[in-house]
Amino acid sequence: MTQDPDGPVIGKRTTGCRVDIHIKNKGDVHVHACCSDDKDATKSPCPGEEVPPRIVGACIPLGLGCKPKQSRTHKLERLRARTSIPSVLAASFFQTARRHLAGHNAANDFEAAVFPVFENMSPTVRAVLACAVDSYRTTEPDLRDAGLEPSLLADPTKPVDMATLTTAVVQEIKLRSAEAAFGDAAALQERPGLNRFFNPGGEFFEAQLQICRVNNLRTASHRPPISLGDRLPAEIQQKCALVLGADGVIRQNCSVQTGNCPGNELPDSVCARVPDVANGDSVMLSGVNFMNLDIKVRLKARDGSGSAEVDAHVFGDLTTPLSEQINGQTALIRDCRVKDQLSFVIPDDLPPGIYELQLAMPNTTGLPIFGPTVLSNVEFINIVPPETARFQIVAERLRARQETSPQSFGSDEVALTFLAAELLPDGSTGSLQKLTKRFSDVDSGENRTIEQPVFNQSQPALGLAMSVVGFEVDSERAFREQLNDFQDAFVDYLSRAWEKLKETLSAGAGAAIKALGFVKGAIAIAIAAVVGIAVIAVIARWAPADLIMDDAIGFSVIELAELTNVDLPISGITRHPSPQDLEVVVTPLGKTALTYREFREYVAEDEDSRYEVHLRYNRTA
């Protein structure tokens, strides 16, 4: 690289230098040029210059000596690859911002609610906003709409109105709910599974319409069979209590129930877990041969107090092959590797108690031997009254298990945002609760105390939705302030937008969400993802910040009650991908009376980092 001796003007200074750069490695390379002081070479006036140094693809510059950052192009490519459902809220931000910057007056109630966010910006932050909006216009066409709902951005002059926004957000929630519940947004539309039935010939007592999992708990009839030693604690009926150990520490002590089982038996008379569900809740089943959309779910109380037959939402497994080769012979795949799925809603009028659960499917197998109706194996659920408890979640601390690479470039600067809301009985949500934390000079192995609530339940609710988003954002002090101010402004925008949205949801649009028939936890995860992806999609376009934490957390109130109930065992370590495909490892830390603690580790391969957020769930009423 050679610079003309008559070089360009940077700020008020005229440069004249020649720089030869020889690059051998592949990938993103950032070149940071900074002027020198003519009188004192030890000074670096760049952070104070009238025109700050810029790196391509960022509206807030990266400070000298800071860790390398992914380019905007790289981040948008990753966002496009990992975001199958575009963000409506992020698109609405860019649309309303560019209308405001173009001098348009607020055209409706929604713009009147969010325009003050832009009006209250300082001149410096407003310049960052202008750059962020311009970055959308100047991005190459194939990446321009990465992560954004393009329909809201098609006409630069068209106002964002509540009817359009609500319809788009409800559709996004529906798609994300299907993705959270069934693992595929396509599950919003029903589809039958493959026909894996065969003619048993003589006596054959195993159900070919098979339930393998109930609310993700493997059943007693799971195929292939599961040994007791390989069972998860949550799959076995247990009774737990808090006991004081010889070391003076109170711990949870659980005993396995054997005999007189409320549901099915496992080997050695050990009782299989009977999951609790509430009236109005949804139940998820996974199994084999859900090949007809007219499957019914039959519920019958063990004590004869109630019964029902309800419709189901079916999403068949078209990925697992129909057959395989075993010893040179073709054999049907008909064990629990198949993951046909369905969900159904517990009727509101069924009395509490233990219920038999069985599928009844019209016989379209082509095999008359099964009669007019094919029945599944029998499983069990415990219908309990709707939970009225109240909950709080506290973020205890942040831990850097491994800071971003390369560590030799210095410590991490971490920006962490929590956004949470209640899922209300009418399908709408409560107001957006938010907490933002910034931590400087974070090194591997270090902890940072938070000890602040990130969610407080204030009214009767069906569940909790919470998004966790964290970035490594180190920069010069002056630019760090711009970054903080802009991110705070964007979170303010989200809060105002969500406040308007929840009004329209409670006015009727929430019924479309409630009517999905998906588990409440999945809907809550979807709402958390809607909010979280909006943050990620916007920040990718305006700041040299790399994603290191990403999570969409959703629980029904029943699930929160189980977490904080010392009578139930804690689950084991679980892993799942985040909405942006970071690995999330959830490790339970234990229970005390009305309290459950865990930490969530976020593994960001792109940054070679591992961060933990420690959470405490409190039952407050």
Check residue 152 and give its pLDDT: 96
Check residue 183 and give its pLDDT: 93
Q: Does the pLDDT of residue 45 top 80, yes or no?
A: no
Check residue 517 and give its pLDDT: 80
Which pLDDT band holds residue 42 (cuts at 50, 70, 90)?
Answer: very low
Tell me the DSSP string of 490-556: HHHHHHHHHHHHHHHIIIIIHHHHHTT---HHHHHHHHHHHHHHHHHHHHTTTS--EEEEEEEEEEE
Check residue 540 and give its pLDDT: 82
Which pLDDT band holds residue 55 (cuts at 50, 70, 90)?
Answer: very low
Check residue 19 and give its pLDDT: 52
Check residue 545 and give its pLDDT: 80
Give 423's Cβ-side CA count (13 Å radius).
29
191-231 pLDDT, tens digit each: 999 999 999 877 667 899 999 999 999 999 999 999 999 99
Same structural domain for residues 372 and 395? no
Same structural domain for residues 513 and 463? yes
Name, in order, each residue with C-beta under 8 angstroms of 351's C-beta and a sequence gap of 6 or more. 301, 305, 306, 383
Same structural domain for residues 339 and 439? no
Asked whether residue 380 is assigned to any structural domain, the reply reads yes
Peptide bond into 386 cis (omega under 30): no
Check residue 571 and give its pLDDT: 86
Q: Can you tell me the mean pLDDT for 591-600?
A: 95
Check residue 22 and give its pLDDT: 54
- Other C-beta atoms lying within 10 Å of the C-beta of residue 387: 21
Sign of CA dihedral 128, 129, 130, 132: positive
61-86 pLDDT, tens digit each: 665 556 667 778 888 999 999 999 99
Q: Does the pLDDT of residue 39 top 80, yes or no?
A: no
Domain CATH code at residue 276: 2.60.40.10
Identify the domain boundary among 53, 75, 91: 53
Higher pLDDT, 343 or 202: 343
Check residue 61 and give its pLDDT: 65
Same structural domain for residues 360 and 408? no
Which pLDDT band holds residue 347 (cuts at 50, 70, 90)?
Answer: very high
Which pLDDT band holds residue 138 (cuts at 50, 70, 90)?
Answer: confident
CA gap 340, 212 in Å, rounded: 9
Domains in the chain, number: 3
Range of the domain at 322: 210-384
Q: Does the pLDDT of residue 296 top 80, yes or no?
A: yes
Asked whether residue 353 is assigned to any structural domain, the reply reads yes
Check residue 595 and give its pLDDT: 96
Peptide bond into 224 cis (omega under 30): yes
Residue pair 82/581 in contact by the 8 Å Cβ criterion: yes
Asked whether residue 195 is assigned to any structural domain, the reply reads no
Asked whether residue 317 is assigned to any structural domain, the reply reads yes
Asked whether residue 170 is assigned to any structural domain, the reply reads no
Same structural domain for residues 371 and 283? yes
Lowest pLDDT segment from 14-23, 103-112, 307-316, 413-422: 14-23
Check residue 9 and give its pLDDT: 34
Asked whether residue 187 is assigned to any structural domain, the reply reads no
Same structural domain for residues 233 and 379? yes
Name, in order, each residue with C-beta under 8 angstroms of 389's C-beta and a sequence gap of 6 or more. 557, 560, 561, 619, 621
Q: Does the pLDDT of residue 430 top 60, yes or no?
A: yes
225-284 pLDDT, tens digit each: 999 999 999 999 998 988 888 888 888 899 999 999 999 999 999 999 999 999 989 999
Element (H, E) at 417: strand 412-423
Mean pLDDT value across the chain: 87
Asked whether residue 92 is assigned to any structural domain, the reply reads yes
Check residue 454 and give its pLDDT: 97
Same structural domain for residues 39 and 89? no
Percent of the chain with pLDDT over 90: 68
Which pLDDT band holds residue 136 (cuts at 50, 70, 90)?
Answer: confident
Q: Does the pLDDT of residue 599 top 50, yes or no?
A: yes
Identify the domain boundary among 384, 401, 431: 384
Same structural domain for residues 254 and 234? yes
Check residue 513 and give its pLDDT: 81
Nearest partner of 501 among 171, 177, 158, judged by Cα:
171
What token pair was written down for 328?
A: 């040179």
What token pair was written down for 350?
A: 């069924």
Percent of the chain with pLDDT over 70: 87
Check residue 70 and give its pLDDT: 75
Check residue 46 and give its pLDDT: 35
Check residue 20 and give its pLDDT: 54
474-530 pLDDT, tens digit each: 765 656 677 778 888 999 999 999 999 998 888 877 888 877 888 889 999 999 999
Check residue 110 and give its pLDDT: 96
Which pLDDT band holds residue 606 (cuts at 50, 70, 90)?
Answer: confident
Label residue 58 exposed, middle or buried (CB < 10 Å: 0-12, 13-18, 19+).
buried
Give 219's Cβ-side CA count (13 Å radius).
26
Asked whether residue 173 is assigned to any structural domain, the reply reads no
Same structural domain for residues 398 and 409? yes
Check residue 68 and give its pLDDT: 65
Same structural domain for residues 155 and 25? no
Same structural domain for residues 415 and 355? no
539-587 pLDDT, tens digit each: 888 767 889 999 999 999 999 999 999 999 988 899 999 999 999 999 9
Identify the domain boundary among 384, 418, 441: 384
Same structural domain for residues 304 and 379? yes
Q: Does the pLDDT of residue 128 top 60, yes or no?
A: yes
Q: Can you tell me the mean pLDDT for 26-50?
A: 39
